[in-house]
């Protein structure tokens, strides 16, 4: 009993802190070795011209040239980055509103509730990059009657270009956007079930309509959940391996003209865009909570 | 909430109600019964309301399942059905040829085994490691804990492409590329695929368990590891199951990291699917086989369906755990 002998020497609180640190040590080691060092390494590569050969890696320091190249001379990257920002900011509210509506429906005491829940969660289980790619390429990701009807196509042609991209995106990948709502529906459902029913009863006695209780009771109670759901949605959409920009960066890694350095610079620009979106979402939802 | 909607509907038609009260008692009673049937009463939803709810749910459910139905139907179409514009939803015969071809092209038995291995082994390790870390965060106080939380959230946010290249180069130096250890190593360090979520799930779970039992064991002289394994772990079994199945599903479907780390080594189902056309043409060279054996969308979709079939089986066997997971682990709203 070595620990027993040493115990009185250390103060109780110090001993507890050390024990706690022992539990999280694997994470700290893993974080430093597998996340922090590679992150700095990628950043270092992004400031260099990196050439991988059979003998090793050659690096020439070129400061911010990879970054300026991505932002000012590579039209594809800027286009994809803008597209990514637009698509994400369009998708997040849709996913959120859709998940709230479905969660409200599934929260009703109706029959077959379990079956509907199973259906709406199914995509989470089967969504992988190659599967989505096959479905999209076969035109199964959109409802064909809607996306190809002449009325819609005419409407689309009449829109200004700023609006055309998001609307077109909506039409062609509507089901896909909905497919990203599985986990979110469950999160909302769990939060809805936590709201005290007696608040609704009290409001109903005071003459509040269902509409009023939704805006005054349900929505305010979901404010924390909204932030969780929004952040989760942004991250899942951004990390999806089939997103065009992720694939472009990946393809540039092995490109002779691009290489590791250039891909690293683009990764960091992408990361920056992701953080900006997260901050936007956070403040947009935070502001509403106060107001 | 149904009742509130109903009251609202009622107030939309005040004239009808007035008419009802002004009419004779008999008529009034009938009117109440009809209204109760259509619009519902305090105790149950009315026909009108339920119809709308079911209609909306079924419609959205159909849109949701449309890609799957489309895939399933198309995969059973014979080449002549594919060319026939009259055949949309019901193939003229139950044609299994696509599945036979896709089965061969995917090299199904061995890639399936690889996929199972590549998703189960890292998942088990990730679940165990994340539970240890979550326990440490939930039960102990130590300096830098809030910083640790921020960093854990950061690992959730950092896009994989920001760290993957140096990792890949390091694994290549160590000779781990194309090897399952390149997925096990991050899982061991709590840096596996979406580890942050699992750490938070276990943190929440252990936080919600009363610490009394653990303290009693500690007073009786049990070591910290003993307390964790014999008291904390058994009371957190649901969290372990949920984490394990989600981890398996996400590892199975993760392709970015598996592509970078396993390429040239282990072939998983999604990897094989993504080069389906190429693999198909190796097996059935387009110049040699007859026109009916050329690659078509039916064969591709059979391959896609074979790809998700194991997941579907797992989902329907364990669906209770999937759909109740969020409530069980209480990750919502925290």
Looking at the structure of chain B, the number of domains it has is 2
- Asked if residue B81 has pLDDT above 90, the reply is no
Do A274 and B157 make contact, defined as CB atoms within 8 angstroms?
A: yes
Q: What is the pLDDT of residue B1?
A: 46
Q: What is the pLDDT of residue A147?
A: 57
Distance CA B262, CA A177 (A): 29
B100 within some domain: no
Per-residue pLDDT tens over the stretch B31-59 = 677 766 666 655 566 778 888 888 888 88
Higher pLDDT, A132 or B294: A132
Distance CA A198, CA A220 (A): 16
B257 within some domain: yes
B242 within some domain: yes
Higher pLDDT, B264 or B333: B264
Backbone phi and psi for residue A49, each to the nearest 5 degrees, phi listed first: -90, 115
Distance CA B313, CA A225 (A): 31
pLDDT confidence band for B334 (50 / 70 / 90): very low
Question: Lowest-confidence range among B12-21, B134-143, B302-311?
Answer: B12-21
The winner for highest mean pLDDT among A145-159, B114-128, B178-192 is B114-128
pLDDT confidence band for B26 (50 / 70 / 90): low
- Domain identity same for B126 and B252: yes
Q: What is the pLDDT of residue A144?
A: 59
B270: burial class by Cβ within 10 Å (0-12, 13-18, 19+)? Answer: buried
Instruction: Give residue A271's Cα distance to chain centre.
Output: 12
* Minimal C-alpha gap between A190 and chain B (Å): 5
Do A27 and B199 make contact, defined as CB atoms within 8 angstroms?
A: yes
- Domain identity same for B38 and B126: no
Q: What is the pLDDT of residue B316?
A: 87
pLDDT confidence band for B333 (50 / 70 / 90): very low
Cβ neighbours of A178 in B, within 8 Å = 60, 63-64
- Domain identity same for B125 and B18: no
Distance CA B203, CA B236 (A): 11
Higher pLDDT, B4 or A42: A42
Q: What is the mean pLDDT of chain A?
A: 83
**CA angle, B258 then B195 then B187, to 5°:** 55
Q: What is the pLDDT of residue B22?
A: 52
Distance CA A30, CA A125 (A): 28
Q: What is the pLDDT of residue B198?
A: 92
- Asked if residue B18 has pLDDT above 80, the reply is no
pLDDT confidence band for B20 (50 / 70 / 90): very low
A49: which strand partners? Answer: A60
B66 within some domain: no
* Minimal C-alpha gap between A189 and chain B (Å): 8
B118 within some domain: yes
Backbone phi and psi for residue A58, each to the nearest 5 degrees, phi listed first: -100, 135
- Domain identity same for B7 and B111: no
Higher pLDDT, A17 or B40: A17
Question: Lowest-confidence range among A8-12, A104-108, A127-131?
Answer: A8-12
Question: Lowest-confidence range among A11-15, A157-161, A286-290, B254-258?
Answer: A286-290
Higher pLDDT, A74 or A138: A74
Residue B164: which CATH number?
1.10.3720.10
The winner for highest mean pLDDT among A23-27, A137-141, B9-13, B73-77 is A23-27
B253 close to A128: Cβ distance less than 8 angstroms: yes
Distance CA B271, CA A46 (A): 28
Which residues are within 8 A (CB) of A117 and not within 5 positions of it... i.e. 6 or more apart?
A106, A186, A189, B323
Lookup result for tokens 């936007």: A280
B245 within some domain: yes
Cβ neighbours of B224 in A, within 8 Å = 19, 22-23
Do B325 and A186 make contact, defined as CB atoms within 8 angstroms?
A: yes
- Asked if residue B154 has pLDDT above 80, the reply is yes
The kind and range of the H/E element at A58 are strand A57-61
Helices and strands, counts by H and E, chain B:
21, 0
Q: What is the pLDDT of residue A2?
A: 47
Cβ neighbours of B11 in A, within 8 Å = 209
The winner for highest mean pLDDT among B8-22, B93-107, B123-137, B296-310 is B123-137
Q: What is the mean pLDDT of chain B?
A: 82
- Last residue in a domain, options B252, B274, B296: B274
- Assembly ipTM: 0.85
A240 close to B250: Cβ distance less than 8 angstroms: no
Report the residue of chain A nearest B59, measured CA to CA. A116
pLDDT confidence band for A131 (50 / 70 / 90): confident
- Domain identity same for B124 and B218: yes
Q: What is the pLDDT of residue A284?
A: 86
Longest alpha-carbon distance in chain A: 83
Per-residue pLDDT tens over the stretch A229-258 = 999 999 999 988 888 898 898 888 887 776
Structure tokens at B269: 């189902």
- Asked if residue A9 has pLDDT above 70, the reply is no
- Domain identity same for B122 and B30: no
Whole-number percent of chain A with pLDDT over 90: 20
Do B151 and A31 make contact, defined as CB atoms within 8 angstroms?
A: yes
Whole-number percent of chain B with pLDDT over 70: 83
Cβ neighbours of A105 in B, within 8 Å = 53, 56-57
- Domain identity same for B128 and B213: yes
Q: What is the pLDDT of residue B76?
A: 85
Do A134 and B301 make contact, defined as CB atoms within 8 angstroms?
A: yes
B176 within some domain: yes
Structure tokens at A248: 């472009």
Average of pLDDT values for A252-277?
88
| Residue burial A192-229, b: 16+ Cβ < 10 Å; e: rest | beeeeeeebeebbeeebbbeebbeebbeebbeebbbbb
Report the residue of chain A nearest B189, measured CA to CA. A30
- Asked if residue A1 has pLDDT above 50, the reply is no
Q: What is the pLDDT of residue B98?
A: 85
Cβ neighbours of A13 in B, within 8 Å = 141
Distance CA A249, CA A244 (A): 9
- Asked if residue B25 has pLDDT above 70, the reply is no
- Domain identity same for B34 and B156: no
Helix/strand/coil (H/E/C) assignment for every residue in B161-180: HHCHHHHHHHHHHHCCCCCC
- Domain identity same for B110 and B236: yes
- Domain identity same for B175 and B39: no
Distance CA A87, CA A167 (A): 10
Which residues are within 8 A (CB) of A271 and not within 5 positions of it... i.e. 6 or more apart?
B158, B159, B162
Q: What is the pLDDT of residue A254?
A: 80
- Asked if residue B293 has pLDDT above 80, the reply is no
Backbone phi and psi for residue B40, each to the nearest 5 degrees, phi listed first: 95, 165
Structure tokens at A262: 């250039």
B293 within some domain: no
Higher pLDDT, B295 or B201: B201
- Domain identity same for B118 and B22: no
A215: which strand partners? Answer: none
Domain that holds residue B18: 1-45
Per-residue pLDDT tens over the stretch B193-218 = 889 999 998 998 899 888 888 889 88
- Domain identity same for B37 and B129: no
**Residues A168-172: contacts with CB within 8 Å, 24+ apart?**
A169/A86, A169/A87, A169/A90, A170/A90, A170/A94, A171/A142, A171/A146, A171/A147, A172/A141, A172/A142, A172/A147
Instruction: Give residue A283's Cα distance to chain centre.
Output: 16
Task: Quote the strand ranges of chain B, DSSP E.
Answer: none
B100 close to B113: Cβ distance less than 8 angstroms: no
């Amino acid at each position: 009993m070595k620990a027993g002998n040493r115990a009185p020497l250390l103060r109780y609180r110090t001993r507890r802190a050390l024990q706690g640190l022992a539990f999280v040590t694997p994470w700290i080691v893993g974080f430093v070795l597998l996340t922090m060092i590679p992150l700095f390494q990628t950043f270092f590569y992004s400031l260099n011209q990196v050439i991988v050969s059979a003998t090793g890696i050659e690096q020439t320091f070129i400061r911010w040239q990879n970054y300026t190249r991505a932002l000012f001379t590579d039209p594809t990257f800027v286009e994809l980055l803008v597209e990514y920002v637009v698509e994400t900011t369009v998708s997040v509210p849709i996913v959120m509103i859709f998940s709230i509506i479905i969660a409200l429906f599934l929260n009703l005491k109706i029959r077959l509730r379990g079956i509907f829940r199973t259906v709406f969660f199914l995509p989470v289980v089967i969504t992988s990059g190659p599967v989505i790619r096959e479905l999209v390429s076969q035109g199964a990701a959109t409802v064909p009657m809607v996306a190809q009807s002449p009325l819609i196509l005419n409407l689309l042609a009449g829109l200004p270009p700023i609006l055309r991209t998001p609307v077109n995106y909506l039409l062609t990948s509507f089901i896909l956007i909905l497919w990203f709502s599985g986990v979110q529906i469950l999160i909302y459902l769990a939060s809805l079930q936590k709201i005290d029913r007696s608040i609704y009863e009290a409001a109903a006695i005071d003459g509040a309509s269902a509409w009023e209780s939704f805006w005054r009771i349900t929505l305010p109670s979901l404010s924390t959940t909204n932030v969780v759901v929004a952040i989760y949605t942004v991250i899942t959409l951004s990390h999806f391996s089939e997103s065009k920009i992720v694939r472009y960066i990946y393809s540039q890694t092995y490109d002779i003209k691009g290489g590791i350095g250039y891909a690293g610079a683009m990764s960091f620009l992408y990361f920056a865009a992701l953080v900006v979106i997260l901050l936007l979402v956070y403040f947009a939802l935070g502001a509403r909570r106060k107001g | 909430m149904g009742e509130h909607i109903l009251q609202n509907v009622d107030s939309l038609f005040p004239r009808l109600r007035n008419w009802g009260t002004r009419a004779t008692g008999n008529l009034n009673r009938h009117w109440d019964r009809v209204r109760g049937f259509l619009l519902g009463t305090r105790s149950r939803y009315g026909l009108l309301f339920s119809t709308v709810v079911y209609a909306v749910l079924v419609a959205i459910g159909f849109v949701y399942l449309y890609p799957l139905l489309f895939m399933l139907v198309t995969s059973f179409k014979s080449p002549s059905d594919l060319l026939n514009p009259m055949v949309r939803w019901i193939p003229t015969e139950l044609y299994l040829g696509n599945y036979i071809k896709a089965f061969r092209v995917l090299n199904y038995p061995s890639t399936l085994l690889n996929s199972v291995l590549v998703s189960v082994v890292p998942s088990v390790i990730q679940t165990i490691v994340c539970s240890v870390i979550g326990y440490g965060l939930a039960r102990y106080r130590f300096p830098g804990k809030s910083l640790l939380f921020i960093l854990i959230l950061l690992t959730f946010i950092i896009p994989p492409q920001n760290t993957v290249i140096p990792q890949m180069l390091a694994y290549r130096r160590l000779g781990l590329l194309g090897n399952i250890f390149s997925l096990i190593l991050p899982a061991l360090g709590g840096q596996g695929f979406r580890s942050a979520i699992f750490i938070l799930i276990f943190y929440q779970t252990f936080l919600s368990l009363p610490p009394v039992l653990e303290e009693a064991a500690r007073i009786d002289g049990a070591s910290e590891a003993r307390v964790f394994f014999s008291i904390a772990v058994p009371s957190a079994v649901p969290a372990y199951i949920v984490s394990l199945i989600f981890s398996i599903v996400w590892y199975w479907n993760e392709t970015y990291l598996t592509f970078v780390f396993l390429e040239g080594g282990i072939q998983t189902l999604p990897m094989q699917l993504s080069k389906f056309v190429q693999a198909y043409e190796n097996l059935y060279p387009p110049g040699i086989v007859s026109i009916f054996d050329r690659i078509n969308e039916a064969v591709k979709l059979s391959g896609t369906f074979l790809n998700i079939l194991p997941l579907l089986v797992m989902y329907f066997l364990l669906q209770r755990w999937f759909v109740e997971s969020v409530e069980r682990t209480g990750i919502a709203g925290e």
